[in-house]
Amino acid sequence: MLDDDTDIHPLFAGAPSTTEFKKLRKRIVRYTREAIEQYGMIERGARWLVCLSGGKDSYTLLAVLHELQWRGLLPVDILACNLDQGQPGFPATVLPEFLEKMGVPHRIEYQDTYSVVMDKVPQGRTFCALCSRLRRGNLYRIAREEGCSAVVLGHHRDDILETFFMNLFHGGRLATMPPKLVNEEGDLFVYRPLAHVAEADCEKFATAMNYPIIPCDLCGSQDGLQRQQVKQILDGWEKNSPGRRQVMFRALMNARPSHLLDPKLFDFAGLERAPEKFSENSNEIPVLR
């Protein structure tokens, strides 16, 4: 990859010239490309709806995908999309102006899901679950209208880890957000190309690039969330043992069904011994597992 400002996508124009930033950028691009290839996300000639919320993660996603496309490493069309959900105080002009300036093809959609959420969710409860479902439904609709085969989201490594522990602590299941899935209707892929990228790297990148960040707390529904509690636990573990997050993330890529307890994943009932391999006169030492 080149670092000459004359050979770079506009989303990277004005990037810091420090060695530290160049390493950060290359690391994010490398991890993103790794996830795209490892999970088979590329359909040559496909069109992706890249969802842009205005947060640090979605800006990072948009920039890195355009970087890969710019380098000829991502042979898909990219359409950026922002769904304005009618939250009070949402700066509606920020993203359109940014995308126009960067020359990024985009669609801005207004749907007042905020009023629906406020009407349906009891006082004192968090809005995120219903808000997310309504947002996802609208994004699927937009993807179909635009001829896209995939909805692309900016969830990163830490989001995936937090979701795993939320399911573990509160849902009673071992599950998280997969890097690639098919929607319930079966007509769209959902991709998470930043699956291997750390949240801290997204924050450093978006801050260094001075992207116009829009906070995700306009609805006032963030206090006391289970996700925030899990994040605090993971932060504590990381502080006491740096690198713990990456170790746990690698564990999600190294599952052993035979060493868990789910009979739907492994045929425990059909498991048989092989006593003939070790007769009474055999001197062979069994391998411990």
Domain residue extents for the chain: 16-259
Judge whether 39 and 196 are in contact, CB under 8 Å.
no
Give the Cα separation of 254 and 41 in Å (integer).
20
For β-strands 47-51 and 106-110, DSSP reports them as unpaired
> How many residues in total does the chain contain?
289
Per-position pLDDT tens, the chain of length 289:
444 545 667 888 889 999 999 999 999 999 999 999 999 999 888 999 999 999 999 999 999 999 999 989 999 999 999 998 888 888 889 999 999 999 999 999 998 878 887 777 777 666 777 778 888 999 999 999 999 999 999 999 999 999 999 999 989 999 999 999 999 999 999 999 999 999 999 999 999 999 999 987 655 555 447 888 899 999 999 999 999 999 999 999 999 999 999 999 999 999 998 876 666 666 666 666 5
Please give the Cα distance from 265 to 275 (Å, whole number): 25
CB 74 within 8 A of CB 68: yes
pLDDT of residue 2: 45
Q: Is 81 annotated as a binding residue?
A: no
pTM: 0.88
Whether 202 has a binding-site annotation, put simply, is no
Domain spanning 16-259: CATH superfamily: HUPs (3.40.50.620)
pLDDT at 239: 95
Is there a binding annotation on residue 216?
Answer: no
- Residue 282: its pLDDT value, please? 61
According to the model, what pLDDT value does residue 223 have?
A: 47
Tell me, letter by letter, the H, E, C secondary structure of the chain: CCCCCCCCCHHHCCCCCCHHHHHHHHHHHHHHHHHHHHCCCCCCCCEEEEECCCCHHHHHHHHHHHHHHHCCCCCCEEEEEEEECCCCCCCCCHHHHHHHHHCCCEEEEECCHHHHHHHHCCCCCCCHHHHHHHHHHHHHHHHHHCCCCEEECCCCHHHHHHHHHHHHHHHCCCCCCCCEEECCCCCCEEECCCCCCCHHHHHHHHHHHCCCCCCCCCCCCCCCCHHHHHHHHHHHHHHHCCCHHHHHHHHHCCCCHHHCCCCCCCCCCCCCCCHHHCCCCCCCCCCCC
Q: Which residues are CB-neighbours of 259 under 8 A, at least 6 positions away?
A: none
pLDDT in the model for residue 118: 78
Q: How far apart are CA 87 and CA 219, in angstroms?
A: 6
| Residues contacting residue 94 through CB under 8 Å, at least 6 positions apart | 54, 212, 214
Instruction: Give, in order, the Cα–Cα distances in Å from 149 to each of 126, 128, 140, 141, 154.
Output: 31, 26, 10, 11, 17
CA distance 172 to 165: 10
Residue 22: the pLDDT is 94
Q: Amino acid identity, residue 171?
A: G
Tokens of 285: 């030492």
Between strands 189-191 and 180-182, the pairing is antiparallel
CA angle, 140 then 143 then 147, to 5°:
145
